[in-house]
Amino acid sequence: MKIQNQPTVKSGGLPSPLRGPSFSQYSQADQAILKDLYDQGDLRENADVGRVLQEYKNSLSGAPRVEGATGYHTYEEMNAALRELAERFPDKAEVVSLGQSGEGREIYALRVGNQDETNSKPGIVITGCHHAREWMTVEVPLHTATNMLENYDSDPASQERVDKTVTWFVPMVNPDGYEFSRTKNSWWRKTRRPIQETGCPNLKGNYGVDPNRNYWDGKPENFELYRPAGDTPCSTADDFGGGKTSDNPKADTYRGPSGGSEPEVQALLNLELNPANNIKGVIDYHSYGDMILYPYGSKELPSDRLEIYRDIGGKINQALGNKFDLMPSSDLYPTSGGSNDLHEANGILGLTLEIGRSFQPPAWEIPKQTAYITPANLVFIDEIKSRFTQA
Ligand SMILES: [Zn+2]
């Protein structure tokens, strides 16, 4: 694997979503938009090109008119759905606040399963919506939690998962961005905290940080996972990955004023790195592209870890009908400050699943897509359970 500064263009000049009849059918103006989207990393392999173009155009005319938006859970509706599950299954599930977002919304987790006195059950975290516009990723954790709890009595495998692991479902890591994306600008990706001080005299502040570029656990030995060598603070000229992780506060991929600066990231790391939670595995949901990504974004895994990721990733892919690409996240594009890199650096297995073929499929696709993805979570939970349950 080679780390490159630009995303891979596989052959023929244009990337495959932009090649052939599926691209030439678009007007010159649309082709220019698609080219821009590609350059920003928003048009990927496996894209439903027409749908992504439509979603982009929807964002220009205002989110309330987005086709199919009604039907995705709002922030309040998601909180209510988590509370309802906790009320229906009081001895098995509990709603826990992990902290507050930049605008002061609680970031809730539904914890399924209870830790025992010796703190020996393996913990798992399943997160959605680091990125505001990736709406389907909000629905997947809720669906899997519901599945595990509702099938407890009838399905021995579900019972085992609930009894022998502690799984934390966090459907909305970035509630501020999500609500902004739902109501104001459906293309919004970052958080919404106003950044007054960028730490860079030459760079003016803006709104929000890309939370999946902001991860750092404060350990000096992991600092290069946040800012790789050669990426100078306050300089956008040498941004890592050709701008896919940026010091520019106006960029969609802004890494933030410092590593771990954002409250959403702190909330997640406090959950995941707390020894009392015994977290052994994390799946972080993103859209889109039908990809299973393992660490790192900026360097290669040692071979023993690679073997584990290939094994678990392969089993997850099997649960998804082998329709996903299993690869290191640097193969999508090189990045730093991603959540999984910090998981791996702390001995936690961390995978990213990029689901679907666009950012915002119509809401009527929610039942089908979530039912399709949930088996991937169940396989992952089973793997963590069998690998880390103490005899
Ligand atoms: Zn994402």
Give a yes or no: residue 245 inside a domain. Answer: no
* Predicted local confidence at residue 67, as pLDDT: 61
Give the Å distance between the CA of 238 and the centre of ligand 1. Answer: 23
Its domain, for residue 376, covers: 75-185+261-388
Give the Å distance between the CA of 141 and the centre of ligand 1. Answer: 15
Domain closes at, from 30, 46, 65: 65
pLDDT greater than 60 at residue 13: no
Query: Torsion angle, CA of 294/297/299/305, rounded to 10 degrees?
Result: -20
Give the Å distance between the CA of 289 and the centre of ligand 1. Answer: 10
Q: Which of 385, 150, 158, 378 is nearest to 283 (CA)?
A: 378
Give the Å distance between the CA of 177 and the centre of ligand 1. Answer: 12
Is the domain of 175 the same as that of 117? yes
Is the domain of 45 the same as that of 115? no
* Predicted local confidence at residue 44, as pLDDT: 87
Q: Which neighbouring-strand residues pair with 108?
A: 97
Give a yes or no: residue 205 inside a domain. Answer: no
Give the Å distance between the CA of 287 and the centre of ligand 1. Answer: 6
d(CA 316, CA 94): 27
Among 46-50, 58-62, 126-130, 175-179, the least confident range: 58-62
Give the Å distance between the CA of 134 and the centre of ligand 1. Answer: 6
Give the Å distance between the CA of 101 and the centre of ligand 1. Answer: 17
Q: How many domains would you assign to the chain? A: 2
Is the domain of 360 the same as that of 273? yes
Q: Which of 124, 239, 140, 135 is nearest to 177 (CA)?
A: 135
Give the Å distance between the CA of 276 and the centre of ligand 1. Answer: 28
Is the domain of 291 the same as that of 381? yes
Give a yes or no: residue 10 inside a domain. Answer: no
Is the domain of 30 the same as that of 176? no
Give the Å distance between the CA of 90 and the centre of ligand 1. Answer: 32
Give the Å distance between the CA of 293 and the centre of ligand 1. Answer: 12
Give the Å distance between the CA of 318 and the centre of ligand 1. Answer: 23
Is the domain of 40 the same as that of 177? no
Is the domain of 99 the same as that of 171? yes
Give a yes or no: residue 168 inside a domain. Answer: yes
Give the Å distance between the CA of 286 and the centre of ligand 1. Answer: 4
Confidence of residue 24 (pLDDT cuts 50, 70, 90): confident
- For the stretch 137-163, pLDDT in tens is 999 999 999 999 999 999 999 999 999
- For the stretch 350-369, pLDDT in tens is 999 999 999 999 999 999 99
Give a yes or no: residue 89 inside a domain. Answer: yes
* Predicted local confidence at residue 18, as pLDDT: 67
pLDDT greater than 70 at residue 325: yes
Whether residue 38 contacts residue 18, with contact meaning beta carbons closer than 8 Å, is answered with yes
Domain closes at, from 42, 65, 88: 65
Is the domain of 56 the same as that of 152? no
Give a yes or no: residue 232 inside a domain. Answer: no
Is the domain of 170 the same as that of 308? yes
Eight-state DSSP code of residue 293: E
- For the stretch 53-101, pLDDT in tens is 999 998 887 656 666 667 899 999 999 999 999 999 999 999 999 999 9
- For the stretch 207-248, pLDDT in tens is 999 999 999 999 999 999 999 999 999 999 999 988 899 999
